[in-house]
Amino acid sequence: MIFDKVIIATGGSPDKESFSWLEKLNHKIEEPVPSLFTFNMPEEPITDLMGVVVENVILGIPGTQLKSNEPLLITHWGMSGPAVLKLSSFGARVLSEKGYDFKIQVNWVNEQNTGLVREELLFVSDEHSNKLLSNFRPYALPNRLWSYLLEKSELHESKKWKELGKKGLNKLVNILTNDVYSVKGKTTFKEEFVTCGGVSLDSINFDTMESKVCKNLYFAGEVLDIDGITGGYNLQAAWTTGYIAGKLK
Ligand SMILES: Cc1cc2nc3c(=O)[nH]c(=O)nc-3n(C[C@H](O)[C@H](O)[C@H](O)COP(=O)(O)OP(=O)(O)OC[C@H]3O[C@@H](n4cnc5c(N)ncnc54)[C@H](O)[C@@H]3O)c2cc1C
């Protein structure tokens, strides 16, 4: 069959081979890699805290500018939740290059100014000086997480706040603001996956979604090098580009 105009809306794929027919038509293809995944941490005992949610953490990847600031969920395989999914989306390409073997930094208290965290802990140790470390959780951290962080910092739960000392204070500031974990591998979030990469936007005329290198050929949706973070951005991109392409100008 012969058509005057054709719209390609075949969706994403992390397999570059599936774009070869479009490459043969002279379209530039950005290396496709998966986006929106959760982090596997097979070597980290924090997975014992599965089900714990921390409302707002700052999650970062050392040595990069990649950061997210969202709720975090600890799972039986590692970490998930919006903070992780967003970071996986921002870092889809970098993390693929690292072979999904990298470190993450967790700031459990959503405060990058370590001076302010120190002040808060000094205030707590003044106000609650006779309470056990286990009996007062700063920043209303979840109970199980607080116990875990104390143990990781080698601070005994039966210690009183007034017995924390300078060394103990430094350890707490450090673990609350710069807690480092090893990620080894990724897991698809439910059945959801999105592809980062695909037909380069350089090959497309955005006013019409027509190919710049192949007349009367149009593109819409995830086949393009557009990927968004969670919350409907991918669907919106597919609908918007589909609407523009559908006008067939
Ligand atoms: C389980 C899941 C949940 C998701 N949840 C969200 C969400 O909450 N929010 C959000 O924004 N995004 C979400 N996404 C991503 C979003 O669904 C996609 O970005 C969006 O559907 C892309 O639309 P599309 O039309 O480009 O491709 P698709 O929806 O993938 O459709 C492509 C279609 O083309 C067909 N096709 C492929 N190759 C050929 C061929 N050669 N010939 C004929 N047909 C072909 C496929 O079978 C498919 O039916 C989710 C994705 C999944 C998998």
Q: Band of the pLDDT at 18, cuts 50, 70, 90?
A: very high
- The residue whose CB lies within 8 Å of the most ligand 1 atoms, and thus the one to mutate among 3, 234, 236, 241, is 234
Residue type, 214: C
CB 234 near ligand 1, within 6 Å: yes
> 149 with 175: CB under 8 angstroms?
yes
* CA of residue 213 to ligand 1 center, whole Å: 25
User: For 114-177, CATH number?
Assistant: 1.10.8
CB 30 near ligand 1, within 6 Å: no
232 pLDDT exceeds 90? no
Which CATH superfamily is 35-110+180-188 part of?
Translation factors (2.40.30.10)
Question: Tell me, what's the pLDDT at 191?
Answer: 63
- Enumerate the domain spans of the chain: 6-33+193-237, 35-110+180-188, 114-177
The arithmetic mean of pLDDT across residues 100-122, rounded, is 97
Q: Band of the pLDDT at 228, cuts 50, 70, 90?
A: confident
Please classify residue 139 by burial: count the beta carbons closer than 10 Å to its beta carbon, then call 0-12 exposed, 13-18 middle and 19+ buried. middle
174 pLDDT exceeds 90? yes
Q: Rounded to whole angstroms, how far apart are CA atoms 212 and 67?
A: 35
Which residue CA neighbors atom 33 of ligand 1 most closely? 10
Q: Band of the pLDDT at 74, cuts 50, 70, 90?
A: very high
Q: Write down the residue that tokens 């673990």 correspond to.
A: 175
Which residue CA neighbors atom 44 of ligand 1 most closely? 10
Q: Rounded to whole angstroms, how far apart are CA atoms 100 and 77?
A: 14
* CA of residue 163 to ligand 1 center, whole Å: 57
192 pLDDT exceeds 90? no
* CA of residue 143 to ligand 1 center, whole Å: 40
CB 229 near ligand 1, within 6 Å: no
Instruction: List, for residues 119-133, the tens digit of each pLDDT value.
Output: 999 999 999 999 999
Contacts of 41 (CB under 8 A, 6+ apart): 47, 77, 78, 79, 181, 182, 183, 184
189 pLDDT exceeds 70? no
Q: Rounded to whole angstroms, how far apart are CA atoms 167 and 95?
A: 35
Beta strand 53-60 with 67-74 is antiparallel
Q: Rounded to whole angstroms, how far apart are CA atoms 32 and 154?
A: 44
Q: Band of the pLDDT at 188, cuts 50, 70, 90?
A: confident
**H helix count then E strand count, the chain:** 7, 13
Q: Band of the pLDDT at 71, cuts 50, 70, 90?
A: very high
CB 10 near ligand 1, within 6 Å: yes
Say which residue, 148 or 13, is predicted with more confidence. Answer: 148
